[in-house]
Structures are given as structure tokens and as C-alpha cells.
Amino acid sequence: MTRLLIIGALEGELGQAARIAAARGARIAQADGPAAGLARLRGEGADLVLCDLAHDIPWLIERLAEERIACPVIACGRNADAAAAVRAIRAGAKEFLPLPPEAELIVAMLQAVAGEPEGPVHRDPAMGALLARAEALARAEASVLITGESGTGKEVLARFIHAHSRRSRGPFVALNCAALPESLLESELFGHEKGAFSGAVAARKGKFEQADGGTLLLDEIGEMDPRLQAKLLRVIQEREVDRLGGTAPVRVDVRLLAATNRDLAAEVRAGRFREDLYFRLNVVALHIPPLRERPADIAALAAHFARRFAEANGLPVRALSPAAEQALLAHPWPGNVRELENTLHRAVLLAEGGWIGPEAIELTPLPPARPAEAPAAVPQSAVPQPAVPPAAAGAVAGLVGRRMEEVERDLILETLTHCLGNRTRAAEILGISIRTLRNKLHEYRAQGAPVPVAPGTGLLPGGWQGGGR
């Protein structure tokens, strides 16, 4: 259920937008102005904010950035308020919603925030059996550990479990444990009081408190520091959290889901993950098979993505030609569903005519296989050294005189652009951890550099990509 915060009066056209969103299943909260809205975001959180242009939207966005509250803001007003809308967009508002509101646009915004509104798309019997088991387990309260390779759709499965649980009317809150440095992850999880650390300008609830009465997903749990693992174990056992700087514990009622692409049992044996926490999380395990092991899902997912990206970009919905489908079925999909999604997004934009043909399917080539046996070492001096190709020499010469930080930044951003924003794939190509990549991107954003948006976050009419995973 999408948590929507309305900043402004509900008597007029903004109230119509709220009623449309509520009819589509959104959970509505309201604040009279930006200061009151900021207080609600600190306390309850939200997935999306609609703010009346009559209010100081730049001030709100600046405060959200200062307090590291990641929530997209959409400015709302009449088309006659064009100058105010431009100011809001320049300040960081993600989109402008003209009033009176159109139901289709409201639905598109909610879907962009929610990610996969229809639930998992599948046709393969293995995935069907997994979803049947997940639906049966959803009615219980036990913790669930979701495993699978990167890009298989672990958060989508977590949302499916929440939607079929007795907590479905409560909030679904997700936190990527690898997306934040340890110093910030603790505050995001458990919350903090005003003045608890530098920059804590006001008290703020953590993800556990925001998910009270609902479900909390801890994604990439294997990346969590052992010190925080101990604190997490205490929360699971005691059902209460201690805010940073707080004087008394806060009771929480949360169902916990965890997801990882690591072998946590191996991490326990290596001493990098607490055994007691592993058994607490692994009450029930669900493993999502990689896409290459469920080929019947490839065509179904491809058709789903083709329709979604065509509608989002205002393009005609085209079917895949038989040759294009064969190209997709022959690919091993090392990046799983996320790679397929990127491929279809690109294909929708490149396709011409009435079909999406094989010429629009650009598949990422696999790196060459390593030889089984390396040849005996030969002294370097005995090997004739080939001349450096002119193009390569020119490329190297172009780096001379530049700072190492600039070269590194350009390499990372170019690689990320090549991967269509796929953080996991870019980290693999660069040979760095996903945590290192995300910390670098955080630095580049702070410097004002344009960072490609992650895929799978939904594209709104007008070009905004929502903040999903």
C-alpha cells in the first residue's frame, strides 16, 4: 500500500487527487503546510508527497535533503501557475501535477512509486509453485528469508507476501542495507532523537517504527556490519527499538522479511554473519530461481515490460516478433529479470514499425571465459611487445593532466550509463562492491553530477523515474 502525504487543504482540487489516490488503494495522510508535513515525514515516513504550489516547496525539498529523507515531492497546481511550477521543478520537485487532477496520471504516479503493482509476472511452473508457497506463508507471522541472485525480483516477492498477509493494510517499508554507510544505517533502522549526532536537527522515527503494524524488508542483509547485526537481533527478540540518543525503548509490531544474494550459511561459517541472527531470520526460506532456470517466464516478462515502457513513454504497444523472442530465449540472462527489463526498455525506444524485431534487441555480451589452464610463465623481456594502437595511445594521452578523482568519476558514471543505471551490473564490471559504488554515487550527487537513475523504478509521463530499489 503506497503511503501518500498531501500537503495542502483537502477541500478543493487537491482533495480530489487524494480521493482518487485513496480509491486506488493509497494510504492518505495530510498536513496543512511544509513544516507540518516535514514533521509527519520524520515520524511516519511516506512513499510520495503531493504539495500545493501555494506552499514553499523549495524550502521543503531543502529540509528533506538536509535530513536525508528520501521521498519524492510532486508539485500540484493549476497550469496558470507556470512560473511557480518551474521554480518547484528547479528546486528538485520530481514532477508537476496539473489541477484539476486526471485519474490516469494519479494512477501512473502511484504505480511508479509502488514498483510492480500487478505482482510477480510468471508463467513457469517453478515460479508458480514458489508463489503458491509464498501466498500460503504470507498468512503466518514468521520471518522469511528470501534468497536469489541479483535481479531475480526479491523485493517484488516481498511485496507479494505483504499484500497477501493479514498486515496488508499496514505499511510496507523496505531498506537496502548496502545503500548506506554504517554510520547512517543505524539511524535509518532505529531512528534518532534531536541532537543525537551532528545533523540530527529533529527527532525521527526509524524504519522499524515506520513499519509498525506492517512489514519491514531488509534487503541485502548480508552486507550489514556485525555490530548492527547484534542490535538487530535484540530488536527481533525484544520487539522494541532504542533510538539513537533516546532514553526509553519503543515497542514495535513488525513482520520482518530479509533478502540476500549471498550464501548466508557460508557467511556464518566464515564468521561474517551472526549464527543466532541467521536462525532468527531463516524461520522460512524462499529461493527465487534465476531467470535462465525458468525459461517460460522470459516471454511473459518481456511482453509485460514492452507494454509498460511503451505506455510510460507514450509509444505504441508493439508485440515481440518470433525472431526477437528467440533471441531472448537463447540468452543466459546473467543479470536476470533486471537485465531483461533494461533490454526491453531499450528495445521499446529503438523499435520501428509494427513489431519489436531482433534488430532492437541489444544484449549485453558476456565476458570471455577464462582458460582452464594458464600457460607457463614467460619472462616479460623475452616476449615481443606489440606497439600500442594509435587509438589506445590517444585515449591514454587524453588522461594526462587530469586528477585521479575525475578519471574515476567519469569511469564510474560512464559504466553506469552503459548499464542503464543497473548498480549491480556496473559494480561487477568495475570490480568494486555495490556498497562502494553507492557511496561514490552519493558523493557525485552531492557534487551536482548527473547520476543515472536505477532501473525498475517506474517512468512517469514527463520523464520522471520514481525512487524504487
Query: Of 249, 308, 257, whose CA–CA distance to 285 is shortest?
Result: 257
Q: Are 302 and 328 in contact (CB under 8 A)?
A: yes
- Predicted confidence (pLDDT) per residue in 171-211, tens digit: 899 998 887 777 788 888 998 888 777 666 678 888 999 99
- Predicted confidence (pLDDT) per residue in 139-166, tens digit: 999 999 999 999 999 999 999 999 899 9
List, in order, residues 6 or more apart from 253 with CB less than 8 Å away.
212, 213, 239
The distance of Cα 395 from the centroid of its chain, to the nearest Å, equals 35
C-alpha cell at 174: 523496505
- Predicted confidence (pLDDT) per residue in 84-137, tens digit: 888 888 888 888 888 888 887 787 777 666 554 456 888 999 999 999 999 999
Q: How far is 256 from 53, CA to CA, in rounded Å?
A: 38
The pLDDT score that the predictor gives to residue 397 is 46
Percentages (nearest 5) of helix, strand, coil residues in the chain = 45, 15, 40
Percent above pLDDT 70 for the chain: 84
Query: Of 144, 104, 112, 140, whose CA–CA distance to 17 is shortest?
Result: 104
The pLDDT score that the predictor gives to residue 327 is 94
Go through the domains of the chain in sequence order and give each one's CATH number.
3-114 (3.40.50.2300), 125-289 (3.40.50.300), 292-360 (1.10.8.60)
Q: Are 368 and 180 in contact (CB under 8 A)?
A: no
The pLDDT score that the predictor gives to residue 311 is 80
Q: Are 328 and 298 in contact (CB under 8 A)?
A: yes
Question: Roughly what angle, to the nearest 10 degrees, separates helices 13-23 and 103-114?
Answer: 50
**pLDDT confidence bin for 462, thresholds 50/70/90:** very low
Which residues in 456-468 are b (16+ Cβ under 10 Å) and which e? bbbbbbeebbbbb
Biggest alpha carbon–alpha carbon distance for the chain: 84
Query: What's the angle, vertex CA 467, arms to CA 464 and CA 469, rounded to 5?
Result: 135
Q: How far is 420 from 427, CA to CA, in rounded Å?
A: 13
Question: 199 — phi, psi (to 5°)?
Answer: 100, -10
Q: Indicate whether 168 pLDDT > 60.
A: yes
**pLDDT confidence bin for 433, thresholds 50/70/90:** confident
The pLDDT score that the predictor gives to residue 34 is 93
Question: 53 — phi, psi (to 5°)?
Answer: -60, -20
List, in order, residues 6 or more apart from 170 with CB less than 8 Å away.
1, 211, 212, 213, 214, 215
Per-residue pLDDT, averaged over 294-298, amounts to 93
- Predicted confidence (pLDDT) per residue in 356-371, tens digit: 999 999 886 655 544 4
**Helix ranges restricted to H, 207-295:** 207-210, 226-238, 264-269, 275-281
